[in-house]
Amino acid sequence: MTSQILSAGASTTTSARSSRAALLIGCLLVGPPAGESESRVTRLLTVARVVVSVMPKPEILDPQGKAVLGALPRLGFTGVEDVRQGKRFELEFDGEVTDAVLAEVDKMAETLLSNPVIENYKVTVE
């Protein structure tokens, strides 16, 4: 199973997306490449995205969120009561997201992507 954690400026992600886009366009124009079945091409183009959202627990102070909250009125934005700043991880998997994949992502989130002592996380499929 292959996965990628996407981040800003990750050239491998852009390259992978460009390759998939080129493959899709080629298949639409002339059909699948020689020696490739349509089902294999479809599988190559099918990428599932799982998102892990990580937020500080409510009882944990969030100085970054407080800084943003203080800056908003100075920039003319009003009506915001509170700001909490967190993290978002996007993981792409080839193929379908199964219960086993979600269990693996949950373990990733608990052991690496978050600090369970001070953060909560949520796993969703996009």
Q: Do 110 and 59 sit in the same domain of this protein?
A: yes
Based on the fold, state whether residues 93 and 125 are members of the same structural domain. yes
Q: Do residues 90 and 102 share a domain?
A: yes
Q: Cβ distance 96 to 48 under 8 Å?
A: yes
Alpha carbon 86 to chain centroid distance? 13
Residue 95: predicted pLDDT: 85
Q: Quote the mean pLDDT of the chain.
A: 82
Of 13 and 84, the one with more pLDDT: 84
Within a domain: 1: no
Can you give the pLDDT at residue 23?
Answer: 61
Same domain, 31 and 87: no
pLDDT per position as a tens digit, 44-67: 567 899 999 999 999 999 999 999
Q: Quick one: angle between helices 11-30 and 38-45, nearest 10? A: 150
Domain enclosing residue 20, as ranges: 7-45
Instruction: Give the Cα separation of 46 and 73 in Å (integer).
Output: 44
What's the CATH code of the domain at 118? 3.30.1280.10
Q: Does the pLDDT at position 3 exceed 70? A: no
Domain assignment present for residue 81? The answer is yes
Flag whether 2 is in a domain. no
